[in-house]
Structure 1
Amino acid sequence: MLITSLLPLLSRYSLGLDLVAGPDGAVTMTIMPRKAEGSAHKPEGGEVRPISITATAAEIDAELAKGADGALGQLIATRKALADQIAEQRAAAETAKTAAKPKAKAEPAAPKTPVPDAKSSSPPAAPAPSAGEVASLW
């Protein structure tokens, strides 16, 4: 049952398993997806996040026996669907990026506006105050 339940993950990843016995007959099973050797698929951080189940051995066996309808099967299917969506979005972004490159090269560069000379851009000089007047800033 375990291998059959993990087949959807094994099609994309290499898997590591860790089993730890806990108190009162509890078992913690941790499944660690990793990039499969030789695979072109580059998994995202969320895809390779470990899956951990803590229950009794009988409960884990019963859950795995449910196959795709069990919690592990649903989690695997959800992760696969999300990974497929990420791949589709990357492909669409790459297509848009590739399509935008020729268009950007075809458009002529916008003409630059001439920069005004420093002499012409200075504000006009204020008239000098007469002998008895106080200079004003306004």
Structure 2
Amino acid sequence: MLIANLLPLLHRYSLGFDLVAGPDDTVTLTVIPRRIEGGKGSLEAGEIRPISITASAAEIDAEFARGTDGALGQLIATRKTLADQIADQRAAAEAAKAASAEAAKTKAATAPPKPAPSSTSPQPSPAALPAEAKSNEPASLW
């Protein structure tokens, strides 16, 4: 039942296990996802975070017996969904980046050259006072 429940993870990751006996007949099972040798792409930190379960051996066995309805099955399904969403987002970002670059090339190729700015129009001096301002009074915004 353990391997059948972990099969969805095995399609994407190589898995390591750590099994430790604790007090009062408890057991801690840690499943450590790793990048598959020769696998393409990088994994996000959340994808390779270990899954740790601490309970009695009978409770862990019972959770595995529940299959996809058990805690581990639901966690694996959630991780697979998140990994798929991350892959979709990466693909969408790459597609948008390529489309943006293509649009910029097209725009640059079809845009007419900009005319040089004309220096014949007089520019107002920033220090010049408005016509209604008096030199001995502060300027009003109203």
Q: Distance in 1 between matches of 2:71 and 2:112?
A: 57
2:79 aligns to what?
79
Query: Over residues 70-117 of structure 1, what are the superposed CA-to-partner deviations in whole Å (9 max), with x where a residue is unaligned?
Result: 11011000100111011111111111111111211222388487597x
SS of equivalent to 1:54: strand
RMSD after superposition: 2.7
TM-score normalized with structure 2 length = 0.77
2:37 aligns to what?
37
Letter in 2 for 1:29: L
Per the alignment, do residues 122 and 78 of structure 1 end up closer, same or farther by CA in structure 2, a change over 3 Å counting?
A: same
Mapped contact 1:19–1:28 kept (Cα < 8 A): yes
Q: Which runs of 5+ in 1 are unaligned?
A: 126-135
Q: Distance in 2 between matches of 1:104 and 1:22?
A: 61
1:56 pairs with 2:59: no
Displaced runs of 4+ in structure 1, greater than 4 A?
112-116, 120-125
Identity %: 64
Query: Over residues 35-55 of structure 1, what are the superposed CA-to-partner deviations in whole Å (9 max), with x where a residue is unaligned?
Result: 011111422111111100000
TM-score normalized with structure 1 length = 0.79
1:103 aligns to what?
103
Q: Distance in 1 between matches of 2:35 and 2:115?
A: 50
Q: Distance in 2 between matches of 1:124 and 1:62?
A: 83
Per the alignment, do residues 18 and 124 of structure 1 end up closer, same or farther by CA in structure 2, a change over 3 Å counting?
A: closer
Q: Which runs of 5+ in 2 are unaligned?
A: 129-135
- How far does residue 121 in structure 1 lie from its aligned partner after superposition? 7.7
